Amino acid sequence: MRNSIVRSIKSLTYSSSSHLIRRRGFATESVPDRKVAVLGAAGGIGQPLSLLMKLNPLVSTLALYDIANTPGVAADVSHINTRSEVAGYVGEEQLRQALEGSDVVIIPAGVPRKPGMTRDDLFNINAGIVKGLCEAISKYCPNALVNMISNPVNSTVPIASEVFKRAGTYDEKKLFGVTTLDVVRAKTFYAGKAKVPVAEVNVPVVGGHAGITILPLFSQATPKANLSEEEIKALTRRTQDGGTEVVEAKAGKGSATLSMAYAGAIFADACLKGLNGVPDVVECSFVQSSVTELPFFASKVRLGKNGVEEILGLGPLSDFEKEGLEKLKPELKASIEKGIKFANQ
Ligand SMILES: NC(=O)C1=CN([C@@H]2O[C@H](COP(=O)(O)OP(=O)(O)OC[C@H]3O[C@@H](n4cnc5c(N)ncnc54)[C@H](O)[C@@H]3O)[C@@H](O)[C@H]2O)C=CC1
Ligand SMILES: O=C([O-])CC(=O)C(=O)O
């Protein structure tokens, strides 16, 4: 789980007119054409995420879709002299064009939290938005990898799975809840407390993406550090409350957008690398899973040419983590069931 985007940008030069990528000092190699669609591209996450995807040399076509304001965002981003061709699509009548041919669809469409709200409070509005977008995906790009950012992720991913099942297009290997921001936060907070270089830190985060369902496994963090039980508990709480920390600091102006765009770009890059056959691409994600008795669960996932190649187990847990795992299950189960019920009513 390295910072692959930054690495790509540093180590590669690329041409906007050909699909060749030249590693400085090494032979030229070709990369396949890949279309990425961002749904909700004009929003707080959508705009910086579109920028970051424009910087990604693995993308050849970037489709920016929203219900408003995408022409401006697309015109702006399109002037950046990188490989991908950019097009903006606005309104439902252009959704088909935005989606057709997509390899990866990233969904940050929907309303964000305000102080005092839980992610589940967004369900009533976002569930319908996600359902509509997934119906379109099942029609126009049923083979795309779907990166679900819209909250509550613990419910929106099950909604997507039900929509795809109903359409006969469900492939559990291709549906991902994006939990990368939890990993990004866990790494940052751990590095600060353990006083180790942040770029070297790895911390798996499992479970789901809301409050106590976010379970960072600091017992598996590397590089190892001698943190006290109290310090580990505080780091766990801060990771679980990271979203709320930003919501409160923004004081009514939304939730995490910039760090989320970064995290979303890391995860989409991992999906593209997997599709392109790069070996050993592993990220945490909320996917259909048999790691626990719950039908969906976030854990480390190996990405490959068809999406999920392997779901990795949890590994050894500390007593504190075992307790956290049992505590999160009822809430996560209820959120999953709420999504499934909504999609089928
Ligand atoms: N998975 C995660 O870790 C995180 C998830 N989020 C979630 O991401 C979502 C978006 O957050 P922000 O970008 O801050 O919100 P925002 O309100 O700034 O942007 C949302 C965008 O979605 C668009 N939209 C609404 N309905 C749409 C539809 N039917 N089709 C296409 N676009 C549509 C809006 O026009 C707007 O441009 C929220 O649900 C938020 O909770 C936020 C941070 C982290
Ligand atoms: O907290 C929120 O509402 C947005 C989010 O999911 C996060 O920042 O992790």
H or E stretch at 86: strand 85-90
pTM: 0.94
pLDDT of residue 3: 45
Asked if 78 and 84 touch (Cβ cutoff 8 Å), the reply is no
Check whether 46 is labelled as a binding-site residue: yes
Residue with the larger pLDDT of the pair 29 and 200 = 200
Decide whether any atom of ligand 1 lies within 6 Å of the 256 Cβ.
Answer: yes
Whole-number Å distance, alpha carbon 105 to ligand 2 midpoint, is 20
- pLDDT > 80? residue 89: yes
Atom of ligand 1 lying closest to residue 46 CA: 13
pLDDT of residue 22: 47
How confident is residue 1, by pLDDT bands cut at 50, 70 and 90? very low
What's the complex ipTM?
0.99
| pLDDT tens by residue, 294-339 | 999 999 999 999 999 999 999 999 999 999 999 999 999 999 999 9
- Closest C-alpha residue for ligand 1 atom 24: 109
Quick check: is 209 catalytic? yes
Give the separation between CA 126 and CA 62, rounded to whole angstroms.
24
Asked if 256 and 246 touch (Cβ cutoff 8 Å), the reply is yes
How confident is residue 30, by pLDDT bands cut at 50, 70 and 90? confident
Atom of ligand 1 lying closest to residue 255 CA: 14
Catalytic residue among 209, 300, 333, 338: 209
- pLDDT > 70? residue 83: yes
H or E stretch at 64: strand 61-66
- Closest C-alpha residue for ligand 2 atom 5: 243
- pLDDT > 90? residue 24: no
118-121 contacts at long range (C-beta below 8 A, 24 or more positions apart): 118/152, 118/210, 118/211, 119/151, 119/152, 119/153, 119/154, 119/209, 119/210, 119/211, 119/243, 120/152, 120/155, 120/210, 120/335, 120/338
- pLDDT > 70? residue 157: yes
Decide whether any atom of ligand 1 lies within 6 Å of the 108 Cβ.
Answer: yes
Q: Which residues contact 142 (CB under 8 A, 6 or more apart)?
A: 164, 167, 169
- Closest C-alpha residue for ligand 1 atom 7: 150
For residue 214, the ligand closest to its alpha carbon is: 2
List, chain by chain if needed, residues with CB within 6 Å of any ligand 2 atom: 112-113, 119, 151, 181, 242-244, 246-247, 255-256
Asked if 94 and 64 touch (Cβ cutoff 8 Å), the reply is no
Check whether 66 is labelled as a binding-site residue: yes
Atom of ligand 1 lying closest to residue 178 CA: 1
Atom of ligand 2 lying closest to residue 260 CA: 8
Residue 297 vs residues 33, 120, 159, 162, 338: alpha-carbon distances, Å? 31, 17, 14, 16, 15
pLDDT of residue 14: 38
Average pLDDT, the chain: 93
pLDDT of residue 29: 60
